[in-house]
Structure 1
Amino acid sequence: MKELRTRIKEVEQAVGDAFKDSDLPRSASQKMKAMEASLSKASRAYPHCSQMVAKLRAMAYNAEEQIRVQKNQESYLERKFPNQQKLNDPDLYHYAIFSDNILACAVVVNSTIPLLRENFFHVVTDSLNLPAISMWF
């Protein structure tokens, strides 16, 4: 029980304070493996405590899922976008479009381009439509 409490605290400390992948200590995956070993050991020592083992396994799975989500978020937020230097250019007209409709975005952009020579569009969309909108433009 003491070992399990220690493993739970280690995993909570590793994942609990992390906001992105770089915040995770390098030993986070090792702590998860140690938790799995402790759970296996507990299930062999206390076979009548299957509910406790199931709950602890679920906690370990949730912690792994949090790590996976944090890695995905970090890789998305640290992406390099094309024309990054133009993001803060005050000589350009900046337009923000919030839409998940690819055709509507295309209509807005195509109708605005002939009117202004120097413009820059910021399209904000959901993750499902981002690849299609990126390909379109």
Structure 2
Amino acid sequence: MADDDPDHFIDSDDVDMPSTSSGSSRRRLAFKQPHPVLRDRPPFAPPVIMGMSLPDVDATPPDSTSNGSLIDNRPKLRKAWSYDEVCVFYEGMKIHGKDFDTIVRYMAKRKIEKSREHVKTFFFNSVKAYRALLGLAE
């Protein structure tokens, strides 16, 4: 039929060409990704075999030392301070200044358990953040 005819020219209706009259430009169509990005896909989950359970990642036994004491090599979970913890910290700062031991005792009275190192680190990180926020020189 039309394929056998050497004088047959390709009609613009026969070809799927992107239209420039649509909202997309030629450049956008040229660089459009054909497939979804890998991070948009759901994570792979291994198949569950009947009667078998996968080992828990956190269930690894802690290492032991030569004297028999146990060492836990798992990283400690760190979480951000809650709003109440921050408020009590600043109340303690207003009352006791930079006396971190007294601030720890003040926070303990309010049922907030933090070590001296936690309080000290929070203070210096706060100072660094405020200094950067306000654009102050050291």
Task: Calculate the TM-score normalised by the size of structure 2.
Answer: 0.23
Query: Which is richer in strand?
Result: 1
Work out which of the two has the higher radius of gyration on C-alpha atoms and give 1 or 2.
Answer: 2
Query: Which is richer in helix?
Result: 1
Greater relative contact order: 1 or 2 (C-alpha under 8 angstroms, separation 6 or more)? 1
Task: Calculate the TM-score normalised by the size of structure 1.
Answer: 0.23
